[in-house]
Every structure is written in C-alpha cells, then in structure tokens.
Structure 1
Amino acid sequence: MVVDHVSKRYRLYHERNDSIKVSIMRGGRARYEEFWALNDVSLDVTAGRTFGLIGENGSGKSTLLKCMARILRPDMGRIDVEGKVSALLELGAGFHPELSGRDNVYLNGSILGLSKRELDAKFDGIVEFAGLQRFIDTPVKNYSSGMYVRLGFSVAINVDPDVLLVDEVLAVGDEQFQRRCNEKFADLKSAGKTIVIVSHALESVRNLCDDVAWLDKGNIREIGNASTVVDNYVDEVHSERSQVTEEGGTRWGSGEGAIERVELVDYKQTPTSRVRTGDKITFRLHYNTQEPIPKPVFGMDLHRVDGIHVTGPNTRDADQVPDKIDGRGLVEFTIDRLLLLPGTYDVTTSLFDVNGLKIIDHHTRAFRFDVEAGDPREVAGVVSLGGRWDVDALNGR
C-alpha cells in the first residue's frame, strides 16, 4: 500500500441557526472554515507487515484509515492498495440495528464482497469466533459494544483479505476476545497478509506492529520501528505524566503518617522518570509521620498502564521492619537489574502496620515512569526472564 501526499479537507460550518431571511440575503452561502484532517501524508506499508497508526484524538488516524478503505476520498494525493481490502472501522458500521446478528453477518459480508454461498460456508466459523452462538438471532440493537465488535471483527477477518484495516478493536472486548484477536493477527501475519491498526493501546501496538506512523494534527510526525516510535510518542506526549499522577491518584488511610513523595533515580543517583530494561534503579519513598509509628511496613505495587499487576514488594516480606519511625525519613528499594520490558508503569505506595490490619497511608498511582528497550532488547510482554538460548543443544550433548 502506498499513501502518496494525501490531504483531506472538511468544512466546518458556523451560524447554523441563521433565519431564512439572513440566508437569502447572503445568497444562500453559508459561512464556514476549512479544516485539514490530513495534510500531505505519505507512507509505504510493505506487503505482509503489520503497520500501526498512533496519535492523540483528532490527529487524523481514523480519517487516514477511511481513506485507505476508500470510504473517504482524499482531496489531494492518492492511495494505491493491492489486493482485497477488509475494514473494521466505526462501531456497528455495516450493521442494521433492527436485524439479527445472523442477518447482519450476511449483510456485512455482502458489503465486503462475499457471495451468499461463501457466507454459508463461513457462517459457523464466524459465529464461533465471535462467541455469539446464543445471541446470533437477537437484534443487534440489543448487543453491547463488545458484542458488536466481536461480530464485526469476525466477519472482517473471514473475508480472507489481503489487507485488513482495523480501528480500535483492541480497546473493546474482554480479555479472552482480545487474546483471540492477537492470535488471529499472528495467523494473518504468518499468511503474508498486510494489517493496518489504529489504536491507543500502545503496548499492543508495540507488540503487534512491525512499523508505526505517529500522526500529529494531520501531519506525519515520525515513521519507523514500532518500539522506537512508541517510545518517542510516550516521551513527547506523556513527559509530564509522572508529575500529574503525583496529584491525581486516590489516597486514603488513618493518617498518622504518609509517603509524601516517590522518587526514581538511576545508577548515577540522578532523578528520572525514564529508564531502560537492564538498568540499575532505585525507588525512594520519602515519608513523614505525625507521631511515632511502631513496626511500620512500606510497600509498592507496580501496574502497567493497561492494568496488568506486575509485582508488589514490601519491607515485611524482605524482613526489613524497623522497630518504629518518627518524623521525616527515607526508604529505598533498589533493583540491580531491571527486568521490566518497554512500557509505561504506575507505582502505588502503601504504609501499614506489621499485621496488615491498619492502613496508615495508601496512594494509588503515586508515580508513573516509562521503560525503554535496553539490554536485553526484548519488547514483547512484561518482563525479561533472563534466560539463555542454545540453538545447537543437541550437538552439545
């Protein structure tokens, strides 16, 4: 697929409530301003690769995908696509709300170019993948958003496309469905199919895509390796998130003391919110108490921003419980070799009694930090296991 200097313009009309008299006096010409959703966008999507489009809301991602699907026509430039294209764009696109799921499979499939005979042969597989056997004869107006996407995605992939265009399917649906989607993407990729994905799920984009384009206000900001572009996007757009989350997380506790500040320092003892896999890092928990607290326990919970709980170390499990603390102080948690893989992570802090019966201070999302690819240069998943491969193991025995 080649996108060659593509621009797309919209007209934003104003004063829609003008009277008929005013409209006639103006000669029927409504006042508007031009808005360029895409501005001279060029990119190549190599056949057989998975390509991601990322960017803030309103950056032009969905508009570009619709131009690729030939739903919208560019005002300037051209898009050349080879092979059969299947697209899953807006929620419920190609569905009639009053028709059943069964009828909509045939309606949507025919729109995508399948004959009734082909749909008859694929029908059971479509319904099984969507997991909607019980609801296939129910009008889709009664479907949840997740059910809509499951059915639409199942139809789209069963067209056996050469090019699959997907807009935010990774943001809807339960964990089981998302796992099936990822497995299907892998199957399509193995079969040499081309996939273009629009998503705000950056970890999924990083893991699924070979290449990524970052769009910013209708312009291409960067194109390149998926992990590199996602890292740069996070660095630019979310560089101040750690400061924001220090104020934004919820907090509760009995209040005799508090972990007032979380600090992350690198091996040079330099404060940072950005580290690499394999780095030596230290979390510093700065605390203050209003009165002496006997046998306190300090803890942290690390979550990836998509909600996956990574770990929850605390001083009690490490047999590091002081007799008491009083006033200001500092607790450090040092990791000699960080095994977290690239992503964005939240730190939740806790201060509680040794029996775990009294929460003195609990602060969700107290700090946020980013991990970039380092050593090892793995990017898929949550942690590096630090294992060792031997490709000549049989001969070595």
Structure 2
Amino acid sequence: MTDSPETNDAPDIVVVKDVSKRFVIRKDNSLKERIVTFGRIGKRHREEFWALRDVSVTIQAGSTVGLIGHNGSGKSTLLKVLGGILDPTTGTVARRGRIAALLELGAGFHPDLTGRENVFLNASILGLSREVTEARFPEILAFSGIGDFIDTQVKFYSSGMYVRLAFSVAVHTDPDLLLVDEVLAVGDEAFQRKCMDKIRSFQEEGRTIVLVTHSLGQVADLCDRAILLNKGEVVFDGEPRQAVVNFRNILEGRRIAEEEQDAPVHAQVKRDAQILSAKAQAADRLPGEMLQMGDDLVVTAEIEHLTDTDEDWNCAIQIDSTQGQAVYGTSTRLLGKKLRPVKGPRSIQFTLKDTRFGTGKYFVNVSIMHPSGVHIADFPQACSFDVAYNPLAVGTVYAAPSFSDLGTTK
C-alpha cells in the first residue's frame, strides 16, 4: 500500500507519471555466441528485466526526498530517470529548473583531462558560462580539497578525489534540483560532514534534493519525505521514519525467507540442542504492536535438547541494533539460574522490565551454552521487535530529557 505525502503550496519541480523502465539482459556468454546469434532477438538469447514498474511521483520545490530500498529495488534507476540520464520505456517525466546530478563515480569526467579541465567541462554541461566558472573556480577547488592535483589527469585520481571534485562542481552550479546517489559514502568522514553541511545549507536556501542512500539514519535526519521502492514499485511514499520501519520489515521478511531456504542444509548438522523459534513482544500489548518507552519486553524461545546429560546449561539473549551493535545482553548464568536439561522441547522466557530502547528495529539473538561457555546452539536474529518513534531523542538508548538555561557565567 502506498501512502501519499501531504500536499503543500510549493510548485512541482519534477512530475513522474506511470514510468516503467525495461532493460534487456543478453544471455550470450561469449563473443562466438554473439556472432552466431547476431540478429536473433528471440527469448532464448535475451531476458527482460523491469527495473521500474508504473512509478508515479511528484516532487515539490524545496523538499528533501530520500529514495530507499534494497539493492536492485530501482532506486538508482529512478534517480537517473529523474535526471534525464535514462529515458523511461513507458510513461512521462516533466522537470523544471537547473539539475545537478552526482550519480556514480566519475560520471561526466573525461579520464584524459585534468581536474581543472573537467571542472570547466562539467560546469558548461550544467549551463554555466566560462566567465561564471572562472569566478567560482577558487571556491570549487577549496571545497574539493584536492590542491595541486587539480592539474593532474583524473584517471590518476583515487575514488575519494573523484567524489570530492564531482560533488564540489555539482553544488557550486546553483542547482534548483540536486540528485545525489550513494557515492558520498566513498569520501572520508571529514568530507562527508562537509557534504552534509552543504546539503543542509541547500535546504535552508529552499533548494530541492533527492538522495539515494543506505544510511537510514541519514534519511530520518535529513529528509522530510521518503519513497520506499521494492522490486521496482513504490510501496510507500510519506513520512521518513515510517518509511524506514516499512523498509526494515521488508528486509526482515527477506532474511526469514532466505533462512527457510537454508534450513534443510543446517538441519543436517548434528547438535546436542537446537533453538526452534523465538518471539519478542511488549507485555500487555497485541502481537506486532510497537514497544513503547517503559514497556516490559518479553522474549520467549522454544528450544529442544536432543541428548541426555546431567550437565547444567546456560541460555543467553543478545539484542542488536540494525547496525549489528550489541545494545543489551543477559543470560541465565548472569541471573543466577541453573537449568537442568530435559530431553525434548521446552519453552523459556526472559522478561526485561521498564525498557528504554531508542526508536527503531532491534534483533534478538538466542544461544544455548555449556557451563564452560562453549556454544551448543545459536540462532542469530531469531526474532525482532520495533520501538515506537519518540520525537525527543535519537539513538539506541532513551532517557527522558530536560533542559535548563543557567544564564551567563563570569
């Protein structure tokens, strides 16, 4: 289901209507096969791939829009269609204003030209006169930070230098619409901060930005709207934090499906015990409801001992953020509980009182261990839970904030 964003009085800068984009993938694996099949366009020698299907999007001036989705969902294809780099197979795209696109590493750079020459070439493509480019060149060079390398052929540049110069040119051409792909991740942290500062200054100036990124925190922080793509279709268009929640649910569904496919392989491994399933939910709430600040979290696991033994055993849970950072963990050993194994299935339960997790999705890992600490069975990301959005803070830990102005100090 697609949620439409609230309309505003700003003019439309891009209107995408019923756009689909098809690519043809040839199945010829060698030059010989291509020669033999030359002129044949039957289905045996090609495969059609629809990167976009019936996409309709309207972007208003002054908005910052994030395009998110898993790899192959159509994000970069849509961004190229927005910029006029790719023509849609069907549908129409209407644009207005000057567009600056930073879509892929080195796009628009001629490898045999120097950085200086490429600055003037790119600026002219974006509509700037030579006089204007000469006036802005010192700012472009200073922002890029590549120094004397400006007179070196760009084919000798590192990936970071490519991005620095390309981004610097793009943001100094006064674009009405800035299109940015994942390439910003190539630069170092200092340059990424500089880019983010520039994007924020563009927002203050009322420019329009469309951003493709896998950094979901960046989407929630920078964007006032997010478009979620899945298999070339728009499945959500609206509030960024809700788009992030929906995207993580899609990723979780894919992960579970992949684990089910791999289950027969893992079942062949002989173990002393196994973890059959797990679930996590807020106490006193319906299954699937988001965890609220202060709720008790109940983690229930179904396990099975496959052998008879008199040894005590230990069960542990660890809660990770979406970045894989461990944010909480405990075990029966830490709680002073000694558990005797009983052959066959059984249920165990941990209850975490008065939780203070920050907004987002979290994954629960479950492990069974010998008293020595040796792992008998592990179930990474056995289940997950979502924590409701809290407008007062960000991060993986929540504490109720307050503020006092203590006045001037001597």
What TM-score bracket applies, with the shorter chain setting the length?
Answer: 0.7 to 0.9
- Superposed displacement of residue 369, structure 1: 1.9
1:339–1:180 CA distance, 2 compared to 1 (3 A): farther
- Give deviations 1:60-106, integer Å, cap 9, x for gaps: 32222112212123344432323221111122212233455555444
Q: Which residue of 2 aligns with 1:311?
A: 327
Change (3 A) 1:120 1:171: closer
Aligned mates of 1:64, 1:196 — CA distance in 2: 10
**1:367 is the counterpart of 2:371:** no
With 57-66 and 172-181 compared, the bigger mean Cα shift is at 172-181
Q: Secondary structure at the match of 1:276?
A: coil
Shift, 1:34, TM fit = 5.6
Following TM superposition, by how much is the alpha carbon of 1:138 offset from its aligned partner in structure 2, in angstroms?
5.5
Contact 1:126 1:155 in 2 (8 A): no
**Residue 185 of structure 1: SS of its match in structure 2?**
helix
2:112 is aligned with 1:95: no
- In structure 2, the CA distance between the partners of 1:167 and 1:320, relative to structure 1 (3 Å rule), is same
Instruction: Describe the SS at the equivalent of 2:290.
Output: strand
Instruction: Report what 1:167 is aligned to.
Output: 181
1:41 & 1:340 partners in 2: Cα distance? 34
Report the Cα offset of residue 327 of structure 1. 2.2
Q: What CA distance in whole angstroms lies between the structure 1 residues aligned with 2:19 and 2:148?
A: 44
Q: Which residue is equivalent to 1:232?
A: 246
User: Structure 1 regions of 5+ residues with no counterpart?
Assistant: 249-254
Change (3 A) 1:74 1:353: closer
**Distance in 1 separating the partners of 2:320 and 2:194:** 23
The answer as to whether partners of 1:242 and 1:368 remain within 8 angstroms in 2 is no
Q: Does 1:205 align with 2:219?
A: yes
Structure 1 residue 345: deviation in Å? 2.9
Aligned match of 2:228: 214
Q: Per the alignment, do residues 173 and 122 of structure 1 end up closer, same or farther by CA in structure 2, a change over 3 Å counting?
A: closer
TM-score by structure 2 length? 0.71
Alignment map for 1:1-397 (pairs within 5 Å): 1=13, 2-13=15-26, 17=32, 28=39, 30-31=41-42, 35-114=49-128, 115=130, 116-128=133-145, 132-133=146-147, 139-169=153-183, 171-239=185-253, 241=255, 262-268=278-284, 275-278=290-293, 279-284=295-300, 292=311, 300-307=317-324, 309=325, 311-314=327-330, 320-322=335-337, 324-327=338-341, 330=348, 332-342=350-360, 344-348=361-365, 359-361=373-375, 365-374=380-389, 376-377=390-391, 380-388=394-402
CA distance in 2, matches of 1:6, 1:33: 20
- Separation in 1 of the partners of 2:406 and 2:197? 29
Q: Distance in 2 between matches of 1:170 and 1:364?
A: 35
Instruction: Name the SS for the 1:346 alignment partner.
Output: strand
CA contact (8 A) 1:162 1:194 kept: yes
SS of 1:45's equivalent?
strand
AA aligned to 2:68 is I
Residue 53 and residue 286 in structure 1: after superposition, are their counterparts in 2 closer, same or farther (change >3 A)? same
What whole-Å deviation, never above 9, does each CA across 1:242-271 have from its counterpart, x for those lacking one? 6867989xxxxxx99988865423214877
| Stretches of structure 2 lacking an aligned partner (at least 5 in a row) | 1-12, 264-270
Structure 1 residues 263, 107: closer, same or farther in 2, change over 3 A? same
- Distance in 2 (CA, whole Å) between partners of 1:151 and 1:237 is 34
CA deviation string 1:18-40 (max 9, x = no partner):
687875xxxx5644666543333
Contact persistence 1:14–1:30 (CA under 8 A): no
Residue 209 of structure 1: CA displacement? 1.8
CA distance in 2, matches of 1:90, 1:263: 41
TM-score (normalizing by structure 1): 0.73
2:364 touches 2:382 (CA, 8 Å); kept in 1?
yes
Change (3 A) 1:187 1:368: farther
Give CA-to-partner distance per residue, 1:144-174, whole Å, 9 cap, x none.
Answer: 5444334433332233322110112354444
Identity %: 37
Gap change, CA 1:123 and 1:179, over 3 Å in 2: closer
Length, aligned pairs only: 370
Distance change (3 Å), C-alpha of 1:41 and 1:263: closer
Cα offsets for 1:330-380 (capped at 9, x unmatched): 4624042343212x33345677899xxx64339584435242534x34685
Q: CA deviation at 1:195?
A: 0.7
CA distance in 2, matches of 1:96, 1:331: 62
Give the aligned CA root-mean-square deviation in angstroms.
4.3
How far apart, CA to CA, are the structure 1 residues paired with 2:373 and 2:99? 56
Distance 2:78 2:180 in 1: 12
- Contact map agreement 1:51 1:197 (CA 8 A) in 2: yes
Provide the rounded CA distance (Å) in 1 between the counterparts of 2:258 and 2:22. 35
Distance 2:121 2:103 in 1: 16
